[in-house]
Amino acid sequence: MPNNILIFDTTLRDGEQSPGASLDIHEKVQIARQLMLLNVDIIEAGFPVTSPGDFESVSRIAKEIRGVSIAALARAVEKDIESAAKALEKAEKPRIHVFLATSEIHRKFKLLKAKEEILALAYKGVKTALKYVDDVEFSPEDASRTELDFLCQVVETVINAGVKTVNIPDTVGYSVPDHYASIIRELKANVKNINKAVISVHCHNDLGLAVANSLAAVKAGAQQVECTVNGIGERAGNAALEEIVMAIRTRHDFYQCSTRIVTNEIIATSRLVSTLTGLRVQRNKAIVGENAFAHQSGVHQDGMIKERSTYEIMKPADIGLLKNKLVLGKLSGRHAFKERIKELGYDLSESEFERAFAEFKNIADKKKEIFDEDIEAIIGMEKMDVPAIFQLESLSISCGPHTVPTAGVRLKLQDGKLVDNATIGDGPVDALFKAIDLSTGIPGKLQDYNIRAVTSGKDAMGEVQVSVDVNGKIFGGRAVSTDIIEASAKAYLSAINKVAATSRKQTPPQ
């Protein structure tokens, strides 16, 4: 078994395919930077041929991220591979990830091709990719449902063609641990050139077994695991990076291997991905869930007081979660706030810090105590990089029993001009969003609207996340405030500002 397991992060490619997730280019670059701090080995930045936006995001990540291999996905066809190669031109360590379905059900119903044709296409795809980069990975899609003898043929063929990594995807989450581990063992035993390539695994969570299957494969000799932050991805998701990494670290006695992951960056990475994708982490999610290190049972609490290890197999600090929550208030200064941000694992630019500090002071005037979660919510806003084309100056709401809900807003434009509008709606939030539509000249259709309290208490900050459909494209927005109506307005404006920045439509009708 290898001592070091490579972590191939596909949050920006497979993770973004998760229903409800949508990331713009700036958000993808932010996540890539955080993945660099997390010290993953490979970042799969996207599937360039699918859209100009995906091509541009892969190009920017390839240009800006250093010290990490940057991979781009491509079908085993020339135009895909050429697009991936072009997007990766500025990458320090480029990798083209070629895939082709191999299972009988895919050959028969999707590709309409015989085994011999699949072998020829796989070989040609790898050779084409090698014209552009030295590092090529190949995935026989739906490998776990491919006849084992044919899978061995495919793997041997692509290694002969020159791939450095062969990935064995459990594309539809069909495998169970013993079955999946046996595939890896069979490949190691029956593919004569298998030692010339790294064996990678990529598992989906349709049966809730993605992490278990991945770890079983590691035990069987796999050297690379493909996973996503928070386990996001197609359908039920992918293997969760944080669970894979912490299982290997916590049970080193069993797995006898390790990863290069800087584990105290896990919680910051998890929260950034959750914030930018709008996909909330369930409370009881392993490692990064809100309850992962919480103890309510009296028996458990008693054991924890006497000896932490009675009921905790990991330390919160291992993933970057500080046990004690420091409470700041309106009298706290810049130095205390800056130190707290560093302790929480965030690295802000000077301008980001100044904006965060100003918002901190603004909230501290309304809220007696500011907790770590409040600070992280503020920082999450500052790192979203949303253009301030329209800014909320003020708002007013009138609603109640036997009253027609009415909302008025005043927006400030980039040139300093003010725009006022008021309208009615089915409720206060509906009226508010309609008033914003009038003021910006960008009509949006609300697709999703979520509210949560960042901390407990009547004065808790409220976090609002929205998804807005503008001309068939979904834009996400997020904001926090002690006033949930204000947070709703700012979240909606955050989404509309992204639309305006994209379309350059900055002048509303008078």
Q: Residue 297 — pLDDT band, cuts 50, 70, 90?
A: low
Closest to 260 in 3D by CA, of 10, 65, 5, 2: 5
Q: Are residues 194 and 317 in the same domain?
A: no
Q: Does residue 300 have a pLDDT over 90?
A: no
Q: Is 260 in a helix, a strand, or coil?
A: coil
Residue 189, domain member (yes or no): yes
Q: Are residues 42 and 176 in the same domain?
A: yes
Q: Residue 505 — pLDDT band, cuts 50, 70, 90?
A: very low
Percentages (nearest 5) of helix, strand, coil residues in the chain? 45, 20, 35
Domain at 327, CATH number: 1.10.238
Q: Are residues 140 and 227 in the same domain?
A: yes
The reported pLDDT for the residue numbered 56 is 96
Helix (H) or strand (E) holding 298: helix 298-306
Q: Is 446 in a helix, a strand, or coil?
A: strand
**CB under 8 Å to 294, separation ≥6 — which residues?**
none
Closest to 385 in 3D by CA, of 144, 139, 126, 30: 30
Q: Does residue 462 have a pLDDT over 90?
A: no
Residue 183, domain member (yes or no): yes
- pLDDT, one tens digit per residue, over 244-253 is 999 999 999 9
Q: Are residues 75 and 184 in the same domain?
A: yes
Residue 287, domain member (yes or no): no
Q: Are residues 163 and 82 in the same domain?
A: yes
Domain at 466, CATH number: 3.30.160.270
The reported pLDDT for the residue numbered 144 is 97
| For range 473-478, the mean pLDDT | 84
Residue 368, domain member (yes or no): yes
User: Which two structure tokens, joined as six digits, stand for 181?
Assistant: 């581990």
* Chain centre distance of CA 296: 30
DSSP 93-114: SEEEEEEEE-SHHHIIIII---
Yes or no: say if 177 and 136 are a contact pair by the CB < 8 Å rule: no
Residue 310, domain member (yes or no): yes
Q: Are residues 347 and 245 in the same domain?
A: no
Sign for the CA dihedral angle at 368, 371, 375, 380 comes to negative
Q: Does residue 443 have a pLDDT over 80?
A: yes
Q: Does residue 156 have a pLDDT over 70?
A: yes
Residue 239, domain member (yes or no): yes
39: left (phi over 0), alpha (psi -120 to 50) or beta: left
- pLDDT, one tens digit per residue, over 166-219 is 999 999 999 999 999 999 999 999 999 999 999 999 999 999 999 999 999 999
Q: Are residues 18 and 135 in the same domain?
A: yes
Last residue of a domain, one of 363, 382, 401: 382
Q: Does residue 60 have a pLDDT over 90?
A: yes
Q: Does residue 508 have a pLDDT over 50?
A: no
Closest to 273 in 3D by CA, of 260, 293, 288, 291: 288
Rounded Cα gap, residues 32 and 86, in angstroms? 19
Residue 488, domain member (yes or no): yes
**Chain mean pLDDT for the chain:** 90
Most confidently modeled range among 115-119, 349-353, 490-494, 506-510? 115-119
Domain at 23, CATH number: 3.20.20.70
The reported pLDDT for the residue numbered 507 is 45
- pLDDT, one tens digit per residue, over 407-435 is 999 999 988 899 999 999 999 999 999 99
Q: Residue 335 — pLDDT band, cuts 50, 70, 90?
A: confident
| For range 38-58, the mean pLDDT | 96
Angle, vertex CA 140, rays to CA 139 and CA 141, nearest 5: 95
Last residue of a domain, one of 382, 398, 429: 382
End-to-end CA distance of the chain: 69
**CB under 8 Å to 287, separation ≥6 — which residues?**
240, 242, 243, 246, 266, 270, 314, 319
Burial code (b: 16+ CB inside 10 Å, e: under 16) for 325-336 equals eeebeeebeeee
Last residue of a domain, one of 277, 311, 333: 277
Which residue range is the domain that position 341 belongs to? 298-382
Q: Are residues 167 and 77 in the same domain?
A: yes
Rounded Cα gap, residues 410 and 427, in angstroms? 19
Number of domains in the chain: 3
Q: Are residues 74 and 204 in the same domain?
A: yes
The reported pLDDT for the residue numbered 296 is 53
Query: pTM higher than 0.85, yes or no?
Result: no
Q: Are residues 472 and 375 in the same domain?
A: no
Q: Are residues 349 and 401 in the same domain?
A: no
Span of 13-27, 249-263, 299-313 with lowest mean pLDDT: 299-313
Residue 83, domain member (yes or no): yes
Q: Are residues 364 and 223 in the same domain?
A: no
Closest to 203 in 3D by CA, of 413, 8, 425: 8
The reported pLDDT for the residue numbered 382 is 61
Q: Does residue 383 have a pLDDT over 60?
A: no
